Amino acid sequence: MADPVSLQRYYGVEIPRDKDRIVFAWTERNKNPILKQLQAVWSPAPAHVLEISSGSGQHVAYFASHFPSTTFHPTEYVPSFFSSIRAYSYPLSNITPPQKLDVASDDWSRLTPQHFDAMLVVNLCHIAPWHVSEGLLKGVSKHLNGGYLLIYGPFKRNGAFTSESNEEFDRDLKRRNHAWGLRDTDDIQQLASQYNLVLDKVLDMPSNNFMLWIRKA
């Protein structure tokens, strides 16, 4: 999927590359606002962080450079992204080699290590079927030590879109795949409770996005 044609088909826009590095423009835009949230919640810095759906590797490399005492464990469902993740990670010593993770499967049992102090996932829930969100929270309930799972992305609130642009984005997603679309934070909260998790906070982020803080009950 990491070839230019597949990337454009999946994301709906042309995706540039810099040699092995895939460049997502939205990742460059949101990395600083996300970093500020991480600095607020990761104090003291966690020892081991699992990044779920690492994509290009832009985020994990940027965050690892700001948390030098934390070991980051990138994962990705599509192995063809691994070369980009490795390219961004070099020469940082606190990023482990990327691991394959299909969050809706039993891949969690093959992760190394098996438990993590914090987890992060950016822009996944809306661009995957609902069963992926179910698998995400099920896996988190088993493999999160005691910190937070942070979920970043666009969501509906109280059954409604928070902006016209998000509503149009949802329509575009559903045109591309009927199983995609913006999720409602109420549904995430209800799903979390099924796995003994709590949606602790929902914070406004730039460009009509949100940061969800989820912890064990």
First and final C-alpha spacing in the chain: 37
Q: Is residue 127 in some structural domain?
A: yes
Residue 163 pLDDT > 60 = yes
- CATH number of 84's domain: 3.40.50.150
pTM of the model: 0.92
Contact 41, 213 (CB under 8 A): yes
Task: Give the span between the Cα atoms of 17 and 56, in whole angstroms.
Answer: 10
Q: Is residue 39 in some structural domain?
A: yes
Q: Note the pLDDT tens digit of each residue in 1-22.
A: 555 546 555 554 455 566 789 8
Q: Note the pLDDT tens digit of each residue in 75-134.
A: 999 999 999 999 999 999 999 999 999 999 988 999 999 999 999 999 999 999 999 999
pLDDT band at 66 (very low <50, low <70, confident <90, very high): very high
Number of CB atoms found within 10 A of residue 123's CB: 19
Residue 160 tokens read as: 């409604």
Q: Note the pLDDT tens digit of each residue in 41-64.
A: 999 999 999 999 999 999 999 999
Q: What is the pLDDT of residue 153?
A: 98
Q: Is residue 19 in some structural domain?
A: no
Structural domain containing residue 78 = 24-216
Task: Give the span between the Cα atoms of 108 and 16, in whole angstroms.
Answer: 31
Return the closest-CA partner of residue 41 out of 200, 190, 191.
200
Question: How many CA atoms lie less than 13 Å away from 1 in the CB half-sphere?
Answer: 12
What percentage of residues in the chain have a pLDDT greater than 90? 86
Q: Is residue 66 in some structural domain?
A: yes
Task: Give the span between the Cα atoms of 44 and 41, in whole angstroms.
Answer: 8
Angle between helices 82-89 and 58-66 (to 10 degrees): 30
Phi and psi at residue 186, in whole multiples of 5°?
-65, -40
Q: Is residue 15 in some structural domain?
A: no
The residue to which tokens 């996932």 are assigned = 121
Q: Note the pLDDT tens digit of each residue in 131-160.
A: 999 999 999 999 999 899 999 999 999 999
What SS3 class is residue 208? helix
Q: How many domains does the chain have?
A: 1
Q: Is residue 11 in some structural domain?
A: no
Q: Is residue 8 in some structural domain?
A: no
Torsion of the alpha carbons at 159, 165, 166 and 172, rounded to the nearest 10: 120
Q: Is residue 159 in some structural domain?
A: yes
